[in-house]
Structure 1
Amino acid sequence: MARFDLQTVETGDAGGSAQTDILFEMGIMYATGRDCAIDLVAAHKWFNIAAIKGCDRAAELRAELGKTMSKIDLATALREAREWMTAH
């Protein structure tokens, strides 16, 4: 499982827009299990969406997380991100 330095994450600007910051925080929430169970598929999905919206830190964490995931989980996360982007 990927490890994230929450102190570093929480002190920096995640993206730029409020929406991007919220999407990035969703990724952090699922990656670390903050107020929920750890869900790496959901974390990758939200990091991917935040990265598409311009968050460089989300792109870095998405890449780090992707290295630890199975091909099936990675494909699921990518599909879910694509479906979310299509719907929103």
Structure 2
Amino acid sequence: MARFEMHEAGFGALGTTAQADMFVELGMMYATGRDCEADLVCAHKWFNIAAIKGSARAAQLRSEISVGMSKTDLARALREAREWMTMH
């Protein structure tokens, strides 16, 4: 399964809106299986991070995909988002 992580030196210099947009695109990539296998846990994680960064669109998309996820998968997605936010 493909994973895309942010470890680039200039990442922190991006504006909050640009970051949120980038995270929305990562969520869409995983939600639709574009250039990788579809992974709703990963999609939810990136939508959640984008929503935290201020994207209303990401919050809506996160809500839409959560309907089809198990409680276990939701908990995992939330945990992964929290861990990512703690590390970055």
Deviation at 1:47?
Answer: 0.2
Taking every aligned residue pair, what percent have the same amino acid on both sides?
A: 70
Deviation at 1:18?
Answer: 1.3
Equivalence for 1:62:
62
Count of aligned pairs: 73
Cα RMSD of the aligned pairs, angstroms, is 0.9
After superposition, what is the alpha-carbon deviation per residue over 1:20-79, rounded to whole angstroms, capped at 9, x for unaligned? 111110000000000000000000000000001000000001011111100000000000
Instruction: Name structure 1 gaps, 5 residues minimum.
Output: 1-15
AA partner of residue 76 (structure 2): T
AA partner of residue 48 (structure 2): N
Q: Partners of 1:50 and 1:29 in 2: how far apart?
A: 14
Q: Partners of 2:19 and 2:42 in 1: how far apart?
A: 17
Equivalence for 2:80:
80
Q: Partners of 1:78 and 1:18 in 2: how far apart?
A: 22
Equivalence for 2:13:
none
The TM-score with structure 1 as length reference comes to 0.80
Instruction: Name structure 2 gaps, 5 residues minimum.
Output: 1-15
